[in-house]
Amino acid sequence: MSKIAFLGAGSTVFAKNVLGDVMLTEALQQFELALFDIDATRLRESAELLENLKRSTGSSCAVKSYSDRKEALRGAKYVINAIQVGGYDPCTITDFEVPKKYGLRQTIADTVGIGGIFRNLRTIPVMLDFARDMREVCPDALFLNYTNPMAVLTNVMNTAGGIRTVGLCHSVQVCVPHLFRSLGMDDAGVQWKIAGINHMAWLLEVTKDGEDLYPEIKRRAAEKQLEKHDDMVRFELMRRFGYYVTESSEHNAEYHPYFIKRQYPELIDRYNIPLDEYPRRCVNQINGWKEMREKLLSDKHIEHKRSREYASRIMEAIETDVPYKIGGNVMNTGLITNLPKEACVEVPCLVDASGVTPTYVGDLPPQLAALNRTNINTQLLTIEAALTGKKEHIYHAALLDPHTSAELSMDEIVALCDDLIEAHGSWLPAFK
């Protein structure tokens, strides 16, 4: 029996969605679903829910839990990753509260920015441990990464880890449907092209029956900006730079130097920016799970409808050789010609029996490539810090981050990095 290993299987609802999709996919019925998580209680709960789902769907997949990560990985053909190192408490709290002492406010802090840098630094060593195990027990497996910071972690697994990896993010899938719904437009029959970097990919083309829909999109967006709504940052970026960006306004507010500024606090209200949004979501999710847990685990007839997650569709395309198109995060092997070759980019990819094949994009519009490079700079220096263990590269990454550098002086940034290193304690490797 072939094996699909799921690392971070204690993320019960996400495991249900992804592995529930597998159970509903005919081509994947003979796979063992190998579950691993460092939280034994959450692992047991996920296994119980998935056994209930197996019975209700009539799936012939085997569900098996492992306390040994290497054994969970042994012989796997596919590995799904959904870990969060350090969790909400203490690490996410640290990522938000320490910068606040310097007057540096964030919304999500999971991609770039000072929070994204430190999430990377505590996650990369764990990912490299995964890669080490995989090179020993399943070297040919395809690693499907759902963990943020997406671009850096996918980059590290492909390069330093030596593992064939594609990063999967929801933002490309929902970009056009969300935009059209918010503007009262019908997306039926609409064609689009998206490329860039994770959480800052661009809607380069959007047409229907050959007609460019951007003029109408921009007209409606300008009208909508007259009143407060939840996507004001992205609409402003589109007005100034010409294109709509894939990831949400709360994310993009902290990827740029323009929106969250101490000296202009009125911008927070003007662009309806939800500061401290991710901690709120974490608390709500924790409380929601307490309420949902008993209902999910006790439901012996639990149902599942195949979701829009890419994982099962990627595996199905490989197993059946029926092509499927995704937006994937892959290394920039000449795909986007005006972004660095060392970067991880997000581009359309074709999946079939030969695996995941990225498509050529060429040059992005110059202003979009320039915005991407501001984030790539911090990404690449964060990788350098993690792989060399040199603290100076943490400083470099933070000094080049657009939001951090717009708010703090050089001395403040260095001091903040030192405080975050100390606050993370054993969650971070030693830096010299």
Active site residues: 170
Q: State the DSSP code for 105.
A: -
CA end-to-end span of the chain, whole Å? 46
DSSP readout, 241-300? Answer: HSS-BSS-HHHHTTTSSSS--TT-THHHHHTT--TTHHHHHHHHHHHHHHHHHHHHHH-T
* Angle made by CA atoms 276, 282, 284, in degrees to the nearest 5: 105
Q: Which residues contact 142 (CB under 8 A, 6 or more apart)?
A: 77, 78, 79, 164, 165, 166, 314, 318, 355, 356
**d(C-alpha 387, C-alpha 383), whole Å:** 6
Residue 97 CA: distances (Å) to CA of 84, 249, 339: 18, 22, 34
**Nearest Cα residue to 278 out of 117, 96, 8:** 96
- The continuous run of DSSP H or E covering 166 comes out as strand 165-167
The length of the chain in residues reads 432
**d(C-alpha 332, C-alpha 335), whole Å:** 5
**d(C-alpha 161, C-alpha 255), whole Å:** 27
